[in-house]
C-alpha cells in the first residue's frame, strides 16, 4: 500500500471515531510526520461549542507528543471534502519551514480528492522572528 493510501485509511479510521454529537460533521485527519510515522486525529466537540478541537489539531498534538515536530503530508476526510479551517492552517504551518512542499489532500465520502500545497491554503502565514529553532531557554528538557 502506498504511503498516501495509508494516510487515507488512517484518516478514515480517525473519522469513524469523531466525537461530533452537535454538528454531526465527522472529520478525520492523518499527518505524515518527518519521522515517517502517521499521526491521526478526529474532531472533538464540546457542549460549549468554542471548546471544540478540530481533527487536524488533534493529530498535530499526537505528533508533537510523540516527539516529532515536522509535517510532510496531510490528509483530511469529511463527507463533503471540507478544507482545514484557518486556525488549523496556521497550526499546520507551525510545523514546516517548507509549506510549498507540504501537500494537503481533502477527500469527500466518495473518495474524490482535492489537493493543495499548504502555502496555497495559507499564503503569508504568520511568522515570528522567534522561530521554532530559537526556543526560550526556560523550557526543561529541550
**Residue ranges binding Zn ion (CB under 5 A):** 54, 85, 88
Nearest distance from C-beta of residue 129 to Zn ion, angstroms: 26
Residue (of 99, 73, 53, 68) closest to 6 by Cα position: 73
Instruction: Please identify, using beta-carbon distances, which residue of 51 and 134 lies nearer to Zn ion.
Output: 51
Give ∠ CA 96-62-73 in degrees, rounded to 5: 40
Residues 6+ apart with CB under 8 A from 95: 60, 63, 64, 69, 70, 71, 132
Set 9, 56, 112, 129: catalytic member: 56
CB of 92 to Zn ion, least distance (A): 9
- Report, in Å, the least distance between residue 104 CB and Zn ion: 12
Is residue 56 part of the annotated active site? The answer reads yes
Residues designated catalytic = 56
Amino acid at each position: 500500500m502506498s504511503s498516501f493510501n495509508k494516510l487515507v485509511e488512517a484518516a478514515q479510521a480517525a473519522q469513524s471515531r469523531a466525537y461530533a454529537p452537535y454538528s454531526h460533521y465527522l472529520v478525520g485527519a492523518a499527518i505524515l510526520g518527518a519521522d515517517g510515522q502517521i499521526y491521526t486525529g478526529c474532531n472533538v466537540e464540546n457542549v460549549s461549542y468554542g471548546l471544540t478541537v478540530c481533527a487536524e489539531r488533534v493529530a498535530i498534538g499526537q505528533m508533537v507528543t510523540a516527539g516529532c515536530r515536522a509535517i510532510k503530508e496531510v490528509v483530511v476526510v469529511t463527507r463533503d471534502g471540507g478544507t482545514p479551517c484557518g486556525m488549523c492552517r496556521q497550526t499546520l504551518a507551525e510545523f514546516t519551514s517548507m509549506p510549498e512542499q507540504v501537500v494537503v489532500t481533502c477527500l469527500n465520502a466518495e473518495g474524490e480528492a482535492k489537493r493543495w500545497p499548504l502555502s496555497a491554503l495559507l499564503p503569508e502565514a504568520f511568522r515570528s522572528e522567534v522561530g521554532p529553532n530559537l526556543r526560550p531557554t526556560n523550557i526543561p528538557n529541550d
